[in-house]
Structure 1
Amino acid sequence: MRVTQGMLANNSLRHISNSYGRMGSLQDQLATGKKINRPSDDPVVAMKGMQYRTNLTEVEQYKRNLSEAYQWMENSEGGIEHATQVMQRARELLLQAKNGTNSPDDLKAIGVEIEQLNKDLQGVANTQVAGRYIYNGTKTDQPPVDGTGAFNPLLNDYKVAVSKGVELEVNVNGLEAFGGKIGGAGNTLFQTLQGIVTDINSGTMTNGDNLLSDLDEHFDNMNAERAKLGARYNRLELIEDRIGQQEVTANRIISDNEDADIERVITDLKMQESVHRAALSVSSRIIQPTLMDFLR
């Protein structure tokens, strides 16, 4: 095959253009710190990157869900803690009313205080977090205690997705915490307190022992709910640790897949610059003046 001057010149120009392209790619990697800047650079890396980023997005969403779960549990724990203190005070007042040495005015004052404690507990049962009632199951837009004092909480669980395929109950069962006997019928805590007020106002305290027994049972029920909440909180902390590890792993995998090896890129760029300068030098000798240059 006959090789002409034009063929040599065209090949030299094509190789110089390709050299510019390789240098441009290396400079892009150096500027962005990424192996690729468009899917066409490496479709395999691009596809894997999409999958890895989807996993990372899921992990980040679960972390946001964990924050919501913590918010519900900690506020539920705070409400139960306050409620137990109120019940302890109501029990002290009931025992004081039962000792038989109180004057009618003393009994009236005790009754007024217990009535106020009852209203305070109703406020606890209607606790809201971000505008949602936390003791009313999934019916978070309505209070479990209505304006008349009736207590009708929804019994289903409010669950939050905290990991792939894992939903954790984050609420406290309002009926078991503030209601009657666990697994059976009985007066709610608010009805028991109102019964104490009625018995105290009667001045006879004929039902004091039964009311004290009911109040103690409510106290046990609330402690049982608090224990279950504590167990779920401990599990939530374990899940948080696992999600944190998954986030670190996901970020590392994305980095391994997409991030450029800066030291290698700099070395390759220096080598490519040397090759490019050599190609320019050789091409300047190959592309010699032609007869047409002399005729101009």
Structure 2
Amino acid sequence: MHRISSQFNNTDTQYQLRKQEVRQAMANRQIGTQSRIGQLRDDPIAAGHLVRYQSYLGRVEQFEKNAQTLADQYNVREGYINQNLQIMQRVRELAVNGATGTNTNEDLKNMAVEVNELLKEIIQNANAVGPDGNTLFAGTRTKGTAFDVVMGNIPGSNEELIEKVNYQGNVGTNRIEVDENAYLTVDNSGNKTFWAEPQQLMGQRDLSAWQALEDSTIVVDGVDIAIKSGDNIYAVAAKINDSGVAIKASIDPVTNGLNLVTTDSHQIWLEDKNGSALADMGMIKDSSQFPPYNVGESVKVSGGSLFDAVISLRDAMLKGDHEAIGSRVLGTLDSGINNLTTRLAKNGSDYERAMNNIQRNQTTEVNVTQLVSREGDIDITKAITDLKMMEYVNQATMSNAGKMYQSSLLNYMR
């Protein structure tokens, strides 16, 4: 019930006009921003959903960018690996030709010149830098050179040649998130990609009575393995075998030393993270030496890199050693080519998985965008129609108000 007074018509008219102005302002704001929610109180439930959808949409867009970056890196890396594979096929052709025994020593020396140039090209590709300025095959040590070249005097050559190639990167991996709590592991270790044979470390120290004196942590191929006080050598070997690394540990029945053999072609990475368990076993030098060239002096090492295989071929050609070329060297080259093919296939598989994540995230992005639109966007046709209706109502209200107050001061001056 309204109380009728002389000010009622004016007050009520002004109140209704202000309400219409507020509704018009809201409609104009919604059309301008194309969003029906300007404040949380406009639609609290929809606002809550909208915030969550927009947050998830931002994460999906980032997941897609991460996967796209990985795909680009895999694509660039594949080019260098594939080129090295083609070079190794040419190196093998030269090895087969040199192993026939029909070539003179002078012919072999001439072939060694080409092998040496191909070796330089392989090293150049292994030290490749991507478009982002990061080294492609150095693990997570992406700002340094992956492989360091050591020059030396080689029998049969009148000039210094490449004597050894050392890995300067690490075995660290990156975990890149490509979906909610889903990651792709990126392994760029050059001592896996450019390795020729399974490596074997044969410890010569008698460890039958060895026991860990304190709790410590060792690192095997980048995986931390906890050693407890009182563990013997058999417990250490069991823990290495159960760690999931591509290494088989065993105890030599003759020397009672620790033997480590890789189950694929790569270089073993050993390090004492806490304590000195590996150093006490004689497997590595003291902690001042860094892996992978910190193997103990008494440890016998077998299995070399792709570079070692090519260097062995070149040196055998310079010496005119047909027998070595046709047996040991050729077998090592075949093993290196097989490993390079395996790594190329792995890189291609990782690329395909990254592309699958890109496609899935693109589909998810479209679906989530529809949810955001449903909760937050306005129906522009309906909004414009409503705004026009509000303008007509406002004009009608103003017209009626003008008719209600047609009296002026002149009406009272008669």
Partner of 1:175: 191
Residue 103 to residue 285, structure 1, CA distance change in 2 (3 Å) = same
Task: Determine which structure has greater relative contact order: mean sequence separation of CA pairs < 8 Å that are 6+ residues apart, divided by chain length.
Answer: 1
Q: How does 1:132-211 map to 2 (within 5 A)?
A: 132-148=134-150, 149-182=165-198, 183=262, 185-208=302-325, 209-211=327-329
* 1:18-63 deviation per Cα after TM superposition (whole angstroms, max 9, x unaligned): 1122122222323332213455544544443332221111111112
Q: Is the 8 A contact 2:135 2:144 kept in 1?
A: yes
* 1:13 matched to 2:1: no
Contact 2:74 2:347 in 1 (8 A): yes
TM (norm. structure 2) is: 0.66
Provide the rounded CA distance (Å) in 1 between the counterparts of 2:92 and 2:114.
12
1:127 — aligned with what? 128
Closer/same/farther in 2, CA of residues 203 and 9 from structure 1, 3 Å limit: same
Which moved further from structure 2: 199-208 or 79-88? 199-208
SS at match of 1:170: strand
Separation in 1, partners of 2:410, 2:11: 17
CA shift digits 1:114-171 (9 cap, x unpaired): 1111111111111111121121211212222014231344223233222221221334
Distance of 1:198 and 1:20 partners within structure 2: 92
Letter of the aligned partner of 1:23 in structure 2? Q
Matching of residue 73 in structure 1 with residue 74 in structure 2: yes
Say whether the 8 Å CA contact 1:72–1:170 is kept in structure 2: no
What's 1:228 paired with?
346
Q: Which residue of 2 aligns with 1:283?
A: 401
What amino acid maps onto 1:33 in structure 2?
A: Q
Aligned to 2:363: 245
Given that 2:177 and 2:184 are in contact with CA atoms closer than 8 Å, whether structure 1 keeps it comes out as yes
Greater mean deviation of Cα atoms: 127-136 or 97-106: 97-106
Task: Give 1:242 deviation, angstroms.
Answer: 1.0
The AA in structure 1 aligned to 2:176 is: V
The 5 A counterparts of 1:97-116 are 97-116=98-117
Figure out how many residues of one structure are paired with residues of the other and give that number.
296
Match of 2:24 in 1: 23
Higher strand share: 2
Question: 2:346 aligns to what SS in structure 1?
Answer: helix
Percent of aligned positions that are identical:
27
1:144 is aligned with what amino acid?
A
Match runs of 1:264-283 below 5 Å: 264-283=382-401
Structure 2: which amino acid aligns with 1:161?
A: E
Q: 1:106 corresponds to which letter in structure 2? A: D
1:216 equivalent among 334, 339, 351: 334
- Conserved 8 A contact 1:76-1:172: no
Q: Normalising by structure 1, what TM-score?
A: 0.90
Instruction: List alignment gaps of at least 5 residues for structure 2.
Output: 151-164, 199-261, 264-301
Deviations 1:53-102 (A, max 9, x none): 21111111112112210122112211110011010000011111122222
2-side partners of 1:170 and 1:247: how far apart? 24
Q: Given the alignment of the two structures, is residue 257 of structure 1 paired with residue 375 of structure 2, yes or no?
A: yes
User: Which residues of structure 1 form unaligned runs of 5+?
Assistant: none
Structure with bigger helix share is 1
Question: What SS is found at the alignment partner of 2:147?
Answer: coil
Residue matched to 1:294 = 412
Distance 2:57 2:413 in 1: 68
- Give the CA RMSD over aligned residues: 2.4
**1:172 shift after superposition:** 4.3
